[in-house]
Amino acid sequence: MKLNKPTFVISTRADNLVKVQKESSHIITIWIRSGKFKNKLPIIRSAIIYEAKSKLDANDYKKRFISFFSIPKTHTKLSVLKGISNVQITQLLSYTKMDKSIRTETYDFDSFRSKKTFLSWKRRGKIIYTLIGRSGKLLGIIWFNKGKHTIRIYSPAREKPVGKKFLEIVRNNFYPGKPKSTVSKNR
C-alpha cells in the first residue's frame, strides 16, 4: 500500500483505534498499551497496525515509517521502517547466532557478531530498512551498500510470502521514480 502522507492515530484505547480504522483503512493506528486499558484487546484484531511500548516508541515508529502491507489470506499487517532500533539490533544479533542458514550460507556472522561489530559495519555507509510485525518483532532486513541491496527474511516470517513485497516497497523508497524491475532471489 503506497502512502504519500499517512495519517497516524496514536491512542491508549484499542476501541478508539477500531473506530478510526472503520472510518478509513488508510489511517496508521498505533496502540500504546499502558494504563487501565492496556489489556483491553481490539474487537477487530487487524485494526491495530503497531503496538508501541511507550509514547517515545510510537514517535520513533512514526518517524521511521515507510509503508505497511498485509500478508495474503490473513489479517496480519507488517510495517516497513527505515533504519533499525536498538531492540531490533538485539533481535538481529540473536537471529544471526541462532539461525543455521544465516550462519552457514552468509557472511552475516562476521558483521553481526556483537553490537560493536554491527555498529562498525553500519558506519561504513549502509542504509538499512526493517520489516517488523505488529509488536515490533524484527522479521526482515534490507540494506544498501554502494547501490546494491541485500535482503534477509528471518525464520518467524520465512514461510510467509513477504520478501517480494518488502523488497518492492524498499526499492520504491530507495529509488523514487525508478521503473519497477523484476525481483531476483538474493541470499
Three-state secondary structure call for residue 81? strand
Q: Mind listing the pLDDT tens digit for each residue in 62-110? A: 999 999 998 877 778 899 999 999 999 999 999 999 988 888 899 998 8
H-assigned helices in 77-144: 86-98, 100-105, 108-111, 115-122
Three-state secondary structure call for residue 102? helix
Give residue 7's pLDDT band: very low, low, confident or very high (50, 70, 90).
confident
What is the arithmetic mean of pLDDT over 29-58?
78
Residue 2 has pLDDT above 60, yes or no: no
Is the model more confident about 21 or about 144? 144
Q: With contact defined as beta carbons under 8 Å apart, do 93 and 114 qualify?
A: yes
What is the arithmetic mean of pLDDT over 46-75?
88
β-sheet bridge partners, residue 8: 28
Which grid cell is 154?
528471518
The whole-number pLDDT of residue 46 equals 66
Q: What is the DSSP letter of 48?
A: -
Which grid cell is 51?
503496538
- Residue 167 sits at the vertex; the CA angle it makes with 187 and 82, to the nearest 5 degrees, is 110
Positive or negative torsion for Cα 104, 106, 111, 115: negative
The whole-number pLDDT of residue 166 equals 96
d(CA 44, CA 175): 35
Give residue 37's pLDDT band: very low, low, confident or very high (50, 70, 90).
low
Q: 122: buried, middle or exposed (CB in 10 Å: 19+, 13-18, 0-12)?
A: middle
